[in-house]
Amino acid sequence: MRRLPLQADFLVIGSGVAGLRAALELSREGRVVMLTKGHPLQSNSIFAQGGVAVALSEEDDVAIHLTDTMKAGHGLCRREAVRVLVEEGPDRIQELIRWGAKFDKTGGKFAFAREAAHSRSRILRARGDATGNEMVRVLMAQAGRHKRIHRLDYHFTVDLVVEEGRCCGAVVLDENSGEQIIVPAKAVVLSTGGAGQIYARTTNPPNATGDGMAMAFRAGAQLQDMEFVQFHPTALYGPSSPPFLLSEAMRGEGGQLRNHKGEAFMPRYHPLGALAPRDIVSRAIWAEMAATKARHVYLDVTHLGADFVKRRFPTIYSTCLRYDIDITEEWIPVSPSAHYMMGGVWTDLNGATTLPGLFAAGEVACSGVHGANRLASNSLLEGLVFGMRAGVAAVAWASNRTQPDLAVQVTALRHAQRHRLEDAEKLRNSLRRTMWGHVGIIRSRESLIRATAQLSRWAQLVSRPFATRADLEVKNMVQVAHCVAESALWRENSVGAHFRSDFPEAKRSGWKQHSQLSLGEPAIERERRRGRGIVVALRPPVAR
């Protein structure tokens, strides 16, 4: 057994916007090792099309951005976290511009777009629909200038290392050699993204398997609001195409949703029509599909003009062409797909989790910014703002701590027996179908009980240590899916992205409580779900 030749003061797991921004802050005070499973350009951040929301236009104000975010979150946002986001967001974007980010302009001024549930045009975009790609490009270039930041691609993080009650490193799989090693660090920042792959239809890339949430949960950190999974209303639907995201900005520019009869149906469901919040649009599409017995509806942008569509949405236009759909001439078949996790590893306003030494930022974290439903294009801003904050907090926490001695863990890892999971791909597909069918856009007690029972059985199958990335990803997917299903079963009301057909009303008694999940003994006001090893905790509402 060997250790990495690079001794890390700080370990960053994940290399999207949040991880890169955290690494830049950490590098001011020590050596940083960034771990990325697979290729570094496979993060969720890269695929973010619509843009980044920030109050920089003349017509906008941080107070208005705060109000829009709180409203979209249906009363379950942490107001203090939203205030941090909107107030610090402009500085983080201006910093990115100074580093070389090129956002689209019109007449010499930034071209701000509007998306659903925004009361102002505040969406900055780059190259039409490649905003995430541009932000990652700039952050990677900036990180490349820092000699203290060391990237290790194709290194899959298996588990966090906890010693004397603090997180002090990670067990890491070298995907090329198959060897598992331990990387010690004074502090660890999680920025592993989301878990869209637990669903049969998702806009997320294949590597979004919930690894950070699962490993934090196993290490003893607390998860929160896991029932809130945002389904993007418009993902490309086709027998030979993946559910490629069709940006909400298309509706912001005037695109219309039509059913199989050609009717623009959204005005029947909400006064804002196609620009209603995502949870409402997704359920409306689901209802239209059920009413017409169709597998999809249509997004129509043909009336916007071919030149405008090609210039404004070049990535979407070229991608759809690959699947023989010319969006300038024909309606695009679309249906909802799992898109974003509002819940995740609970953090305070500085990215600190309930496990000392572990910090988290980005989609893997539950900072309280999104509440029950994320406001469109707030995610990239969250990654920047809270990525920096997590870096600053991790530096402060580690300032008077020494490198941990992990000799015992190294020895244990050397002698650990690792297994192979039989029919891993079959289990992965079965899990994704179960979550889509029973813990999807519309949920009920009956469907959730079925899902949690099945997930409990699968949890037993994946409880052993495994040797390969594929098997370890399935283990993480089962863990995260189980947490989502348990939280959804606990929340007996409908709010934001969580809709229960048996409890359609939003404001039942206790509706402002937050679900919390942890391993261990039940505490006051907690209930154990039939001995499954998951504790669902009730958190009182936060003062607003």
Which residues are catalytically annotated?
A: 278
Give the count of alpha carbons within 13 A of 401, CB side only. 21
Q: Which two tokens stand for residue 205?
A: 């890339």
One-letter amino acid for residue 227 of the chain: E
Residue with token string 């920047």: 384
Structure tokens at 304: 């916007």
Tokens of 364: 């893997």
Written as one string, the DSSP assignment of 214-251 is HHHHHHTPPEE-TT-EEEEEEEE--TTS---B--THHH
CA angle 32, 34, 36 (to 5 degrees): 175
Strands 109-110 and 105-106: antiparallel
Closest by alpha carbon to 345, among 176, 540, 186, 188?
188
Q: How far apart are CA 9 and CA 165, in angstroms?
A: 18
Max CA separation in the chain (angstroms)? 67
Helix axes 17-26, 131-144, angle to 10 degrees: 20
Beta-strand ranges (E) seen in 37-164 are: 52-53, 105-106, 109-110, 123-124, 149-153, 155-163
137 within 8 A of 47, measured Cβ to Cβ: no
Nearest to 387 by CA among 75, 22, 37, 2: 22
Query: CA-to-CA distance for 500 and 448, rounded, in angstroms?
Result: 10
- Residues 248, 50: Cα–Cα separation, whole Å: 6
Partners of 235 in beta bridges = 245, 335
Q: How far apart are CA 53 and CA 319, in angstroms?
A: 24
| Nearest by Cα to 458 from 422, 427, 436, 434 | 427
Q: How far is CA 41 from CA 15, 18, 19, 132, 406, in A?
A: 8, 14, 13, 11, 32
Question: Look-up: residue for tokens 């910014």?
Answer: 369
Contact 377, 120 (CB under 8 A): no
CB 251 within 8 A of CB 313: no
Tell me if 158 sits within 8 A of 171, measured CB to CB: yes
Is-contact 287 297, C-beta < 8 A? no
